[in-house]
């Protein structure tokens, strides 16, 4: 059999069987056997004795490092050329005492968006990940990463959030292809309602992601938007993307986003002392969000390396949240997890590979540059 290998982690079962047929795989293997192999690989982490057939591309990546901070675990997977993905396993405690785990995945190595408060921005964009490399993060979390709490390997993962390294809308073809695999009941089997894509506010991406929600079976996917400012002046200062896509344009795209009834878009607000944390900022952001059904998620700033700003005082975080609620805005404070392992929000970014900027070659994606976004790391 000639031709490229078929990526078992990068395709849904339907896509995998179609590609297998095209490769002539069914001359030596029954379609049912092929489907069983696919399910066992995704759902149990099991490969046939003797390994996968030669026509299958085994997309698993070696776990390079694991860092634990409290209950949060960050792991890196090795990619070709010495690059790495970074992912975080975060426990969520529920009122009834149960704990579920959320996996925060990366969609790129580094990021081109240059947000000034973000560790990943310091790397610049190295390359985008393929669908297979995104799904490999779930596969590793479930089957390969050492579990220091339970012993052995692997975690049960309930939620996936695209909040790791990279701007998902900058690699949307691969992200949407990965979502199809992550939610395929034969593969990742994560319910769409438990998948969230977080964007810096790329309106073309929000529109295309909205188109995916209009497809049968995907209407419960979630959207999160990194807002971080009450107005264009502050936002353009800390998020270069805002110079190309100002807040009014972002709000317009969110108002027409096809969210399901009673669902709320999550607006993320990294609270940075002296930048966006005053009472007036709070009132302004609440007024801005009033027409939108959304949840304001306040995230205390985690100082990146060489940060010009400190972390906010707990009192100022609470004051901001209280004031937002008093303004009638549904508002939550997100706890800071993983700070010492540099696994917290906006802190993913690998020092070792930072010097290797702009390795090219997004295998299955096309890069879209945002006018106004920097080509290199943020000055910070
Ligand atoms: S906050 Fe997100 S979009 Fe902004 S630079 Fe960091 S990873 Fe990129």
346 lines ligand 1 (CB under 6 A): yes
Give every residue of the chain whose pLDDT is below 70, as ranges. 1-2, 335-380
**Closest ligand 1 atom, CA of 200?**
3
Q: Is 113 in the pocket of ligand 1 (CB under 6 A)?
A: yes
Q: In this predicted structure, what is the pLDDT of residue 190?
A: 98
Atom in ligand 1 nearest the alpha carbon of residue 378: 5
Cβ(121) – ligand 1 distance below 6 Å: yes
Q: Is the CB of 120 under 6 A from ligand 1?
A: yes
Which are the catalytic amino acids?
345
Domain ranges for the chain: 6-57, 63-354
Give the tens place of pLDDT for each residue, 307-346: 999 999 999 999 999 999 999 999 999 866 555 544 444 5
pLDDT the model gives residue 1 = 60
- pLDDT at position 223: 96
* CB-ligand 1 contact for 167 (6 Å cutoff): yes
- 3 state SS for the chain: CCCCCEECCCCCHHHHHHHHHHCCHHHCCCHHHHHHHHHHHHHHCCCCCCCCCCCEECCCCCEEEEEEECCEEEEEEECHHHCEEEEEEEEEECCCCCEEEEEECCCEEECCCCCCCCCHHHHCEEEECCHHHHHHHHHHHHHCCECCCCCCECCCCCEEEECCCCCHHHHHHHHHHHHHHHHCCCCCCCCHHHEEEEECCCHHHHHHHHHHHCCCCCCCCEEEEECCCCCHHHHHHHCCHHHHCCHHHHHHHHHCCCCCCCCCEEEEEEECCCCCCCHHHHHHHHHHHCCCCEEEEEEECCCCCCCCCCCCCHHHHHHHHHHHHHCCCCEEECCCCCCCCCCCCCCCCCHHHHCCCCCCCCCCCCCCCCCCCCCCCCCC
Mutate to test the pocket of ligand 1, among 167, 344, 347, 350 (most ligand atoms within 8 A of CB): 167
CATH code, 63-354: 3.20.20.70
């Amino acid at each position: 059999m000639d031709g490229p290998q078929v990526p078992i982690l990068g395709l849904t079962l339907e896509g995998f069987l179609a590609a297998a047929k095209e490769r002539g795989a069914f001359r030596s293997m029954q379609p049912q056997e092929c489907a069983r192999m696919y399910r066992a690989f995704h759902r149990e982490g099991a490969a046939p004795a003797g390994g996968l057939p030669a026509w299958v591309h085994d997309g698993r990546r070696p776990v390079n490092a694991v860092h634990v901070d409290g209950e949060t675990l960050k792991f890196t997977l090795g990619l070709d050329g010495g690059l790495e993905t970074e992912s975080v396993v975060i426990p969520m405690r529920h009122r009834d005492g149960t704990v579920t785990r959320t996996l925060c995945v990366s969609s790129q190595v580094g990021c081109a968006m240059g947000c000034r408060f973000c560790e990943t921005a310091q790397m610049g964009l190295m390359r985008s990940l393929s669908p297979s490399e995104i799904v490999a993060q779930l596969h590793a979390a479930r089957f390969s990463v050492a579990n220091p709490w339970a012993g052995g390997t692997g975690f049960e993962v309930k939620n996936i959030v695209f909040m790791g390294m990279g701007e998902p809308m900058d690699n949307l073809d691969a992200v949407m292809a990965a979502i199809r695999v992550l939610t395929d009941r034969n593969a990742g089997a994560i319910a769409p309602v438990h998948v969230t894509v977080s964007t810096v506010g790329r309106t073309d991406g929000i529109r295309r992601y909205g188109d995916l929600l209009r497809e049968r079976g995907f209407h419960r996917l979630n959207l999160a938007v990194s807002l971080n400012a009450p107005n264009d002046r502050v936002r353009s200062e800390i998020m270069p993307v805002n110079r190309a896509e100002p807040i009014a344009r972002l709000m317009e795209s969110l108002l027409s986003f096809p969210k399901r009834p009673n669902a709320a878009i999550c607006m993320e607000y990294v609270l940075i002392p002296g930048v966006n944390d005053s009472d007036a900022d709070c009132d302004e952001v609440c007024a801005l969000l009033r027409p939108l059904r959304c949840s304001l998620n306040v995230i205390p700033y985690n100082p990146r390396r060489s940060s010009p700003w400190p972390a906010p005082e707990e009192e100022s975080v609470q004051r901001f949240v209280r004031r937002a609620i008093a303004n009638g805005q549904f508002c939550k404070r997100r706890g800071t997890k993983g700070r010492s392992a540099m696994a917290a929000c906006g802190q993913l970014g690998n020092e070792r590979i930072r010097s290797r900027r702009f390795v090219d070659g997004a295998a299955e994606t096309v890069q879209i540059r945002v006018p106004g976004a920097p080509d290199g790391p943020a000055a910070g």
